[in-house]
Amino acid sequence: MTMDKSVITVNIFGNEYTIKGVAEPEYITSLASYINTKMSEVQDATGLKDTKKIAILAAINLADELFDAKKNLKEKYVPKEQFNLIRGRVENLISLIDKEIPSGLIPDKTETENSEDK
């Protein structure tokens, strides 16, 4: 199965680039716009005129964003095996607690909710 490649011309920081890819043209345009914005931000912050230096600093900023996003995603992700292990331990603890506490000492959730409604 082959995907059709689209060809699109974008303008980044005053230069036109022809990009060929399988992504939707709107997506490529939005990427180019984002890069253009990042380069403008670098130029505004530094006062640099050298496009190559601006591009390198913008690339560093984009890499930083990428690394930060990956780190945040990794910190929030719990592998299924680890999740199942934690779940098993929690269920064992609940079972142990249920065995040790006499029934009726801790009200059921439904009993608590009903008493709050009164």
Is 69 part of any domain?
yes
Q: pTM here?
A: 0.62
Average pLDDT over residues 68-93: 86
Angle at 11 between CA 8 and CA 17, to 5 degrees: 55
Give the closest residue to 109 by CA, choosing from 87, 117, 90.
Answer: 117
Predicted pLDDT of residue 27:
94
Answer whether residue 19 is part of any domain. Answer: yes
Kindly state whether residue 46 falls inside one of the protein's structural domains.
Answer: yes
Cα R_g (the chain), whole angstroms: 28
For the cut 90, the answer to whether the pLDDT of residue 48 exceeds it is yes
> Would you place residue 116 in the very low, low, confident or very high pLDDT band (cuts 50, 70, 90)?
low
Hey, what are 78's tokens? 């719990």
Is residue 36 within 8 Å of residue 12, measured between CB atoms? yes
1-26 confidence digits (pLDDT tens):
556 788 999 999 999 999 998 899 99
The residue segments making up the domain with residue 24 are: 6-76
Q: Answer whether residue 59 is part of any domain.
A: yes
Q: Say if CB 50 and CB 73 are below 8 A apart.
A: no
